[in-house]
Amino acid sequence: MTALLPPRLPLRAALGLLTALLAPAARAAFTPAAPRPNVLLIVTDDQGPWDLGSAGNPHLDTPHLDALAREGVSFARYYVAPVCSPTRAGLMTGRYAFRTGLYNTRYGGDSLALGEVTVAQLLRQAGYRTGLFGKWHLGRYPGYQPHQRGFDEFLGHYQGHIERYEYADQFVHNGRPVTTRGYVTELVTDAAIEFIDDTRRRSPAAPFFSLVAYSAPHSPYQLDTSHAHQPKGDAQIAKYLRRGLELPQARLYAMIERVDANVGRLLEHLARTGLAGDTVVLFQSDNGGVSRHWTGGFRGFKAQVYEGGVRSPLLVRWPGRFPAGGVVRGQASHVDLLPTLCELAGVAPPADRPIDGRSLLSLLRAGGGDRHQPFVYHSWNRLVPSPDTNWAISDQRYKLVGPSGTAGKKQAEGWQLFDLEQDPGERTNLAAAQPERVRALRAEFLRWYGEVTRGVTFAPVPIPVGHVEANPVELQPSWARLGDEQVRYVFEAYDWDTIEGWSRPGQHVEWRLLVARAGRYELEVDYGCAPAAAGGRLRLTAGGSGVELTTWPTATANVFRRAAAGVLMLPAGPVTLRAEVAAAPPAGELMRLNRVRLRLLD
């Protein structure tokens, strides 16, 4: 199956066809051993394994999460990816992210291939009503959005982080941009509670799957900042300042405490409505931690493959079904959640593709276990996947690490072997003393890497345009291919990114498009232009059609205006849109290009 929607087919019809084609792979079902529970999966962003009172942190107040640990089963070695999108791909599919074509958190490498089957699709087929509230980060363009990947209800954001935690302006509701009021952590909790209640009203007998994906405590480290509510946020921050934390860490801890309070709201709502006994609650983070005040002896942080970068809490509660206070010591992985939830729901995972996860249900019922995944694998290099830098593999006891900075070293220089049973802090390198174990673990890692990357092209997917249900489409700077070494992409938080540095005729960037419908496309450009640079010209061409835009000053180059550039005639199918300097500006750079919009007119 191709990874792209057929051209000319309307988006809704294409998605229906895609679901029909994928359904046979996921249709086989079996009877669950117990009544199908509701599922509430809570995922935080950048919360480390040490950022819980139940993990021994003496500085941080997380009473509701600590209670969840006491009332449920905890996992002592639960692994996630070093960064967020790969973990979310694994949660959604039960497959390591490389299998899904996802390899990055930006630059267009954060789209889950359309041929993948998500846990939301599977549970919906099993009769669940499905909702996602908060961060998605698995695709922003038509066909890749969560309400098109199995979620009946979506309120949240597509990108890796938001810039405003209060009165957020980067949120989307079922494909439509919205503005919001209130603090985001509380907003998505409100939406999840409304979803639970609405499901009860619509279909009293139907179970629900609710994924609450908090943005916190990812930067920017913000509590309430509005005129009305700033004192509330300041009070939480002040508490941690009094405990001796520096200001950024105090903000971060206060954000985690706010998450904890909202987890408490969710749990209290389940109890008040009589749903607690019928609901499996799971809590985890999406990668290792970023807080540094207290790290519980772990080594490493987010984006690294040491334990501090790839360990996450996993707390699972089902009252009366899973033993309270249980601890699983066998190593488990984020890819295990899909088969676990499938077994709970009585639906089989897809049978037409490798599933890397293994159900945790027997461990959860027992409340313990010393063995699960024989190996867990990690790899993270932003622009191009590599088996030779920032990689790791662990068995139940030993872990081999090829840290960043060893690019191109295929021998054992720089590799580190740790005995996690005796040395969980990864301080003593045993590689020289145990060369056979090093060779065996490296061979297993290379076998896995070769398997999960075989036949996969790691590049941004073509941007779908021309779908009536998603019109216009924005082309973001991070997805562009730069055509000159002096032309640069500047990351300033997704919606404020720019392409800069172009000033000479011929310097250009390109976007790969997949045009669903041939026709006339209105072209708009958001850009900033310093007064001294006004008067240059930008040429935009695609499919044999072209227009030119003369720049006007926008006060400074960091003030963006929207300008109509003209109309292009685009054919259906793959098309490359090229933006290039047609006439040099009088001085400086042509513009700071913030985004391009294509609107189907016919």
Backbone angles phi, psi at 61, to 5 degrees: -100, 110
SS3 category, 342: helix
pLDDT > 80? residue 8: no
Helix or strand run (H / E) with residue 307: helix 307-310
Lowest mean pLDDT of 7-21, 141-155, 524-538, name the range. 7-21
Quote the Cα angle for 220-64-313, to 5°. 65
Phi-psi region of 193 (alpha: psi -120 to 50; beta: other; left: phi over 0): alpha
Is the pLDDT score of 458 beyond 60? yes
| pLDDT of amino acid 404 | 87
What pLDDT, on the 0 to 100 scale, is given for residue 182?
Answer: 96
- Per-residue pLDDT, 353: 97
- The CATH 3.30.1120.10 portion of the chain extends over 379-453
Strands 463-465 and 573-583: unpaired
Contact (Cβ atoms closer than 8 angstroms) between residue 136 and residue 150 = no
- CB of 112 within 8 A of CB of 484? no
* 562 Cα distance to chain centroid: 29
Look at residue 555 in the predicted model and tell me its pLDDT.
96
Residues with Cβ within 8 Å of 89's Cβ and at least 6 positions away in sequence, in order, are 95, 97, 100, 102, 112, 116, 138
| Rounded Cα gap, residues 140 and 225, in angstroms | 28
pLDDT at 32: 44
CA dist 438 and 446 (Å) reads 12
Whether 181 and 168 have beta carbons less than 8 Å apart is answered as: no
CATH number of the domain located at residue range(s) 379-453 in this protein: 3.30.1120.10
At residue 306, the pLDDT reads 98
Asked if the model's pLDDT at residue 272 lies above 90, the reply is yes
Q: What is the pLDDT of residues 343-377, one digit of tens each?
A: 999 999 999 999 999 999 999 999 999 999 999 99
Cα–Cα distance, 155 to 173 (Å, whole number)? 5
Averaged pLDDT, 400-426: 85
CATH 2.60.120.260 domain position(s) in the chain: 463-600
pLDDT at residue 2, as a whole number: 32
- What CATH class has 11-372? alpha beta
H-type alpha helices, 433-536: 435-453
Query: Does the pLDDT value for residue 33 go beyond 60?
Result: no
Rounded CA separation 547/541 (Å): 7
Q: Identify the CATH class of 463-600.
A: mainly beta
What pLDDT, on the 0 to 100 scale, is given for residue 498? 98
Q: According to the model, what pLDDT value does residue 396 have?
A: 96
What does pLDDT average to over the chain? 93
Examine the pLDDT at 406 and tell me if it is beyond 70.
no
Q: What is the mean pLDDT of residues 298-317?
A: 98
Amino acid at the residue 443: A
Q: In the Cβ-directed half-sphere of 177, how many Cα atoms lie within 13 Å?
A: 11
> Which bin fits 568, alpha (ψ -120 to 50), beta or left (φ > 0)?
beta
Q: At 252, is the pLDDT very low, low, confident or very high (cuts 50, 70, 90)? A: very high
pLDDT tens per residue, range 73-124: 999 999 999 999 999 999 999 999 999 999 999 988 999 999 999 999 999 9
Tell me whether the omega of the peptide bond preceding residue 339 falls within 30 degrees of 0, making it cis.
no
Task: Decide if pLDDT at 11 tops 70.
Answer: no
CA pair distance 559, 594, nearest whole angstrom: 10
Check residue 14 and give its pLDDT: 45
Residue 10 scores a pLDDT above 80: no
**pLDDT category, 410, cuts 50, 70, 90?**
low
Cβ atoms of residues 590 and 551 within 8 Å: yes
pTM: 0.93
Least confident of 64-78, 267-281, 318-332, 461-475: 461-475
pLDDT classification of 508: cutoffs 50, 70, 90: very high
Instruction: Determine what percent of the chain is predicted with pLDDT higher than 70.
Output: 93
In the chain, residues under CATH classification 3.40.720.10 are: 11-372
DSSP state of 559: S
pLDDT in tens, 50-61: 999 999 999 999
CA–CA distance, 10 with 102 (Å, rounded to integer): 25
Residue 493's pLDDT band (cuts 50, 70, 90) = confident
Sheet holding 332-333, edge to edge: 311-312, 78-79, 332-333
Gap between the Cα atoms of 217 and 209, Å rounded: 23
Name the residue among 31, 91, 583, 119 with its Cα closest to residue 333: 91
